[in-house]
Structure 1
Amino acid sequence: MTKPVNSAREIAADVTAGRTSAVETAKTALARIEAASALNAVVTIDPARTLADAAVVDERVRSGETMPLAGVPIIVKDNIWVAGWRITQGSRLFADFIAPRDAVAIERLRNAGAVIVGIGATSEFASKGVTTSRLYGPTRHPLDPALTPGGSSGGPAAAVAAGLVPLAIGTDAGGSSRRPPAHVGIAGFKPSYGAIPYGPGFAEPFFGLSVIAPIANDVADIALAFDVMAGADPRDPDSAAIAREADDIADLRIAFSPRLGLDVAVDDVVADGLVSTIRHLSAAGLHITHRDPLWPAGATEEAIMPLQHAGLAALYGDAFRKDPDVFDPDIAKQIERGLSWSGTDVAGALVASAAIANAFAAFFSEVDLLLTPTVPCVAWPFTQLGPDMIGGRAASPRAHAVFTPFVNHARLPAISIPCGTDGRGLPFGLQIITRRGEDRTLLRAARQIEITISE
């Protein structure tokens, strides 16, 4: 696995200074994508469009314009609208869909000088923890083609980890842009709900949960992309302004919860790696206490999953009834389940979601940062929804996802950064969570922690 020689920051500086051009940078990215086609991380390219866009960036530079992402090649997940590009949600239903306009986040990235070089693979409707679809097939792990990078932002994460681009844009409704980065050894950021405008785009089955999520090799590039995309826009009524970062993070109250206060299995290599990381951070001067959030009775992912199933059924139930074979079998099962839920079942899931958010709010009234594992295991074969065993226990298909969905239901910001590997060199991550709206403080703290881990 090779990573780009230059970060997004360095590419933008070089293009701005005239040491290279956006066109040459885009050509290099396109060549890397072609050479890595076996990964199936990038499902759509349009070289002519990409090079034309890059030429416009070069002209803007020559005219004296300064752009924070000048010439930076990016991959965009296949469920985010990019004007004029085929965007399919990994679904045969949308195999020929051409996005009529840019999502606000993409518009802002283009205005900042970014150049879209391809569309990254997702599972169908971004609704699985592995990146496979009947439309495009499986996306593979850059370290081992027999394994999955996770999902649903597996394509964008694999593209960054394999060195195709320094920056990718995913979405995250339950961990989709934190778990894949953890599995491939890079960083992925889930902003506060509303921090980055979400549309215009497809109707969203994850009501009030999904966010636009930058993925990169390091926190500094993520912070750069976040600053470009963040901020309220009247086209998204849920979007909101985000606070500036704290002036001083030295006195932040930091807690470590090895299992997020849940009775869940974690592989020994991950548990031991997280403990070692916490010891290292403590020795470097961070004041970290062990403390778990206190969850209400029955707080499990199963309690909130009716929202996902019902959302899919509301959007695609009619199409499923007409032709269930159009769908990925795993997604078909979710839609079928969603059609069976009663209104009371869905209301109960909403009650559970609100209770989780309230529990997190209580926790963050006394703590500033929470450190947890991002994933309880390393990557597994792409032919399976999850590993057979985690922590010596038989694992359900969603046991690999236990540490991320509650954050979405509380609408909090969280980031995953690399913190270790197993004996085969497969990565896992440290998740850092804070209060809603304090995204920039989280990114500043994560950058400090990232640097400390590497020392």
Structure 2
Amino acid sequence: MSEGTMASWTARELAARVCAGALKAVEVARFFIARVERLNPGLNAIVQFDARLVLEEAEAVDRRLADGEALPMAGVPFTVKDNLWVGGRRVSQGSRLFDGFVAPRDGWAVARLRSHGAVMLGITNCSEFACKGVSSNLLYGATRHPMDPSLTPGGSSGGAASALAASLGLLALGTDAGGSTRRPAAHCGLVGLKPSAGLIPHPWGFPEPNYGLSVIGALARNVADCAWLYDHLLAYDAGDPAAVPIAVALQAGHALAMPFPASLRIAWSPRLGCDFAVDEDVLQTLQQRVDALRAAGWKIDDADPAWPAEAREYPLLALQQAGLHALYGHRLADARDRIDPDLVAQIDAGAAITPGDVAQALRLRERIGASLLRFFERFDLLLCPTAPVTAWPIDQLGPAVIGGSPSGPRGHAAFTPLFNYCGMPACSVPAGLVRGLPVGLQIVGPRFEDARVLRCAAQVEASQTHCALGRSPRSSCTSEIQ
């Protein structure tokens, strides 16, 4: 089989071939092992990889199929972010403090994919404790962008995004506490979903600095695969205090095949009502995508959520800093030099945060959520940028300038965290190239309307595909609303 053939298949296509007996899971494993061995050294995206274990897992999948077991994801190679447990493997959260830690069991999402026959290909790099917007750390170094090794893929799920964009696997698990899945997806031309809080269980694993904000993130190369991954992870587990036992169908896959309703009320908010800085060419590309959708018949109004005055760039960062200090502040006395200096600064900042500060942040979170709920009384979906910039140089924490003005350290991340605070679904879908690099359009919906969000993302993806074929934006650059 040629080098590019299997790498170009969708995850669903590959699973169908393995389930039908046209292909062995072991053949798939050998193909992707060869890709990892050839391409990963230049990316540093996968930081824990054992070809022998991958082959053993694939052989077990072939035996299970031969025994008559139904395995809907048979043979599909996936990667796991380094802050999620993989049983019996070294998992470190990108931290020297956990260099020798061996996970006692699979994380819930990892176990679920393996139970469906997917094969764990490797563990991907992330920033230390998944609390930085690039994927570099003192333990493994920096992950490089698959289109330009001088650039970062972003973070904190940058290893997952870089590996997937290079076809080192066909699906990826990340986490998202403030955009850590969506922004790397946007920078690497992928689909990245932050699901509604509580829909994908995460009942055990590392203690979470962003308690109550972080969720399992789903990464794929197309919307249908992302919806397929989401559907297989959607569940209720009473062990997860955030889990929601809802008795209605929330699956997304079946919704993608249905006509997109022309009655949906959609809002386009280019600066999210917060006057966030955006590079002009990024904004122009996203505006062209929105205008093309309007030309195809979509009802899209220019409208901004009416946030509280304090809801600006990362307004609840104090919760992350306080959480980091609570978990790791005691290690500064004996291991300060073993922690990323950027994380040391966050932990130190957390020491100064009072209980009153935390209470105020939690109250602000409630007000932010209430503001967006009121917005969704008027609209069914919200469109906005995923990130205001393209990928930037790998040695920088963030771009120095955004929209022609000096940028703060989190200006590149401003468009994503508000939706974590609200617990609502948000998906980044590729929306074009700027200076040869991908940008993403973020689609947000009311809580538990993940299927609606993914359905819209599929339509945006189709419009982008048609535009890439060189068709007129006004005549046939998007799927017509039925």
Indicate the TM-score class for this superposition, using the shorter chain for normalisation. Answer: over 0.9
Instruction: Give the corresponding residue for 2:197.
Output: 193
Is the Cα–Cα contact under 8 Å of residues 284 and 452 in structure 1 kept in the other structure? no
Task: Give the alignment's TM-score, normalised by structure 1.
Answer: 0.97
| 1:182, distance to aligned residue in structure 2 (A) | 0.3
Is the Cα–Cα contact under 8 Å of residues 314 and 414 in structure 2 kept in the other structure? no
Instruction: Give the corresponding residue for 2:177.
Output: 173
Is the Cα–Cα contact under 8 Å of residues 369 and 433 in structure 1 kept in the other structure? yes
User: Does residue 125 of the first structure (1) align with residue 129 of the second (2)?
Assistant: yes
Partner Cα separation in structure 2 for residue 76 and residue 196 of structure 1: 15
| 1:249, distance to aligned residue in structure 2 (A) | 4.2
Instruction: Give the corresponding residue for 1:384.
Output: 396
- C-alpha offsets along residues 90-110 of structure 1, whole Å, 9 cap, x if unaligned? 000110111101111111111
| 1:63, distance to aligned residue in structure 2 (A) | 2.2
> Aligned with 2:23: secondary structure?
coil
Instruction: Give the corresponding residue for 2:49.
Output: 45
User: Partner amino acid for 2:315?
Assistant: A
User: Partner amino acid for 2:294?
Assistant: S
Instruction: Give the corresponding residue for 2:36.
Output: 33
Instruction: Give the corresponding residue for 2:265.
Output: 253
Q: Any unmatched runs of 5+ in structure 2?
A: 467-482
- C-alpha offsets along residues 281-333 of structure 1, whole Å, 9 cap, x if unaligned? 11222111111101111212353110000000000010122221110000010
User: Does residue 395 of the first structure (1) align with residue 412 of the second (2)?
Assistant: no
User: Does residue 429 of the first structure (1) align with residue 432 of the second (2)?
Assistant: no
User: Partner amino acid for 1:338?
Assistant: G
Is the Cα–Cα contact under 8 Å of residues 314 and 418 in structure 2 kept in the other structure? no
Which segment drifts farther, 299-308 or 179-188? Answer: 299-308
Aligned residues: 453
| 1:241, distance to aligned residue in structure 2 (A) | 4.3
Is the Cα–Cα contact under 8 Å of residues 77 and 170 in structure 1 kept in the other structure? yes
Instruction: Give the corresponding residue for 1:405.
Output: 417
Which segment drifts farther, 351-360 or 204-213? Answer: 351-360
Instruction: Give the corresponding residue for 1:416.
Output: 428
Instruction: Give the corresponding residue for 1:203.
Output: 207
User: Does residue 11 of the first structure (1) align with residue 40 of the second (2)?
Assistant: no
- C-alpha offsets along residues 377-422 of structure 1, whole Å, 9 cap, x if unaligned? 0010111110111110011110000100000000000000110111
- C-alpha offsets along residues 119-139 of structure 1, whole Å, 9 cap, x if unaligned? 010000000000000000000
Q: Any unmatched runs of 5+ in structure 1?
A: none
User: Does residue 442 of the first structure (1) align with residue 446 of the second (2)?
Assistant: no
Which segment drifts farther, 241-250 or 374-383? Answer: 241-250
> Aligned with 2:443: secondary structure?
strand
Is the Cα–Cα contact under 8 Å of residues 170 and 213 in structure 1 kept in the other structure? yes
Compared CA separation, residues 46 and 199, structure 1 to 2 (3 A): farther
Partner Cα separation in structure 2 for residue 325 and residue 191 of structure 1: 36
- C-alpha offsets along residues 77-100 of structure 1, whole Å, 9 cap, x if unaligned? 000111111110000011011110
4+ residue segments displaced more than 6 Å: none
Instruction: Give the corresponding residue for 2:222.
Output: 218
> Aligned with 2:8: secondary structure?
coil
Is the Cα–Cα contact under 8 Å of residues 203 and 237 in structure 2 kept in the other structure? no
User: Partner amino acid for 1:10?
Assistant: E
| 1:54, distance to aligned residue in structure 2 (A) | 0.7
User: Partner amino acid for 1:230?
Assistant: L
Identity of aligned residues (%): 51
Instruction: Give the corresponding residue for 1:370.
Output: 382
Partner Cα separation in structure 1 for residue 452 and residue 207 of structure 2: 31
Partner Cα separation in structure 2 for residue 334 and residue 349 of structure 1: 16
| 1:5, distance to aligned residue in structure 2 (A) | 1.3
Match of 2:90 among 83, 86, 93: 86
User: Partner amino acid for 2:346?
Assistant: Q
Aligned counterparts, 1:37-76, within 5 A: 37-76=41-80
Task: Give the alignment's TM-score, normalised by structure 2.
Answer: 0.92
Partner Cα separation in structure 2 for residue 59 and residue 145 of structure 1: 40
Match of 2:100 among 96, 99, 106: 96
User: Partner amino acid for 1:13?
Assistant: A
> Aligned with 1:232: secondary structure?
coil
